[in-house]
Amino acid sequence: GESVGLHLPTLSVQEGDNSIINCAYSNSASDYFIWYKQESGKGPQFIIDIRSNMDKRQGQRVTVLLNKTVKHLSLQIAATQPGDSAVYFCAIQAGTYKYIFGTGTRLKVLA
Amino acid sequence: EPEVTQTPSHQVTQMGQEVILRCVPISNHLYFYWYRQILGQKVEFLVSFYNNEISEKSEIFDDQFSVERPDGSNFTLKIRSTKLEDSAMYFCASARAEAFFGQGTRLTVV
């Protein structure tokens, strides 16, 4: 079956520093990847996505990098702020009708 | 900004009872999903719905579960004869391209 893993369960970062959250996936046929942010008691919130025909995509303060060779996805957050504290999930689209989520990384921003 | 809305936000039910979780997807979306998240764990796929029928379901989505889109706006998840282990956050999502999630219903089975 499909699996999506994350390298670290918790990441602590000083406010103002850059954060990098990593994700590995198993299915080389996956062609659509999404990062979600989940704050306590809330639903996953879309951050940024990337398709397999790209290796990098930038948003506001966030960048997603995709390395299809090693099946690795990362989310970079520039100048991390306290409001970035949350659990971050990568998700891959496994077929048209299904997204598989990773286990999540909790990002803690230290003042 | 359009959003997916879910009701109720919290549901407490006796073991063995039936519950219906309700969702109003974003209006021009075509794909609808239910996910669940047991406390502290990852978000797990339950079922997807497209063109008025189930398009895919996970092994979690057994005969105890059913989904329905009774009209043009609502999308419901019914859990028959709830068990203690059904306690979780249940998220509805809808998509046209990327999926947008509701705030969830916390189901507590006692």
**Percent of the residues in chain A that have a pLDDT greater than 70, as a whole number:** 93
Please state, in angstroms and as integers, the Cα–Cα distance from residue A63 to each residue in A20, A104, B83, following that order.
9, 18, 42
Residues A42-74 have pLDDT tens digits of 899 999 999 999 999 999 999 999 999 999 999
State the average pLDDT over residues A2-7.
54
Listed in sequence order, the DSSP H helices in chain B are: none
Taking CB atoms and an 8 Å limit, are A44 and B91 in contact across chains? yes
Given pLDDT bands bounded at 50, 70 and 90, which one contains residue A29?
A: confident
CB-based contact B8:B107 (threshold 8 Å): no
Looking at the predicted structure, is the pLDDT value of residue A88 above 70? yes
C-alpha B89/C-alpha B106 separation (Å) is 4
Please state, in angstroms and as integers, the Cα–Cα distance from residue A12 to each residue in A18, A28, A80, A105, B66, following that order.
11, 30, 11, 10, 41
Q: What residues contact A97, with CB distance under 8 A and at least 6 apart?
A: B31, B33, B48, B50, B55, B56
Looking at the predicted structure, is the pLDDT value of residue A7 above 60? no
SS3 A64: strand
- What confidence score (pLDDT) does residue A38 get? 93
Residues B24-79 have pLDDT tens digits of 999 989 999 999 999 888 899 999 999 889 999 999 999 999 999 988 789 999 99
Taking CB atoms and an 8 Å limit, are B102 and A43 in contact across chains? yes
Q: Are strands B65-68 and B53-57 parallel, antiparallel or unpaired?
A: unpaired
Residue B56 is inside which H or E element, if any? Answer: strand B53-57
State the average pLDDT over residues A13-25.
95
Q: What token pair was written down for B13?
A: 């039910």
Q: What token pair was written down for B28?
A: 């021009």
- What confidence score (pLDDT) does residue A3 get? 53
Q: Which residue has the higher pLDDT, A1 or B37?
A: B37
Beta strands in A17-96 (DSSP E): 19-25, 32-38, 45-51, 56-58, 62-67, 72-77, 86-93
State the average pLDDT over residues B76-99.
94
State the average pLDDT over residues B86-105.
93
State the average pLDDT over residues A103-108.
91
Looking at the predicted structure, is the pLDDT value of residue B105 above 80? yes
Taking CB atoms and an 8 Å limit, are B98 and A102 in contact across chains? no
Q: Are strands A10-14 and A105-110 parallel, antiparallel or unpaired?
A: parallel
- What confidence score (pLDDT) does residue A1 get? 40
Q: In chain B, which among 45-104 make CB contacts under 8 A with chain A?
A: 45, 48, 50, 55-56, 91, 93, 98-104
- What confidence score (pLDDT) does residue A2 get? 46
CB-based contact B107:B7 (threshold 8 Å): no
Fill in the amino acid letter for A58.
Q
Which residues are bridge partners to B45 per DSSP?
Answer: B35
- What confidence score (pLDDT) does residue A4 get? 63
Question: Which chain A residues contact residue B91 at CB under 8 A?
Answer: 43-44
Question: Which chain A residues contact residue B98 at CB under 8 A?
Answer: 34, 46, 49
Q: B87 φ, ψ to 5°?
A: -60, 125
Q: What token pair was written down for A108?
A: 């803690």
State the average pLDDT over residues A7-26.
90
- What confidence score (pLDDT) does residue B44 get? 93
Given pLDDT bands bounded at 50, 70 and 90, which one contains residue B108?
A: very high
Work out the minimum CA distance from A102 to partner chain B, whole angstroms.
Answer: 7
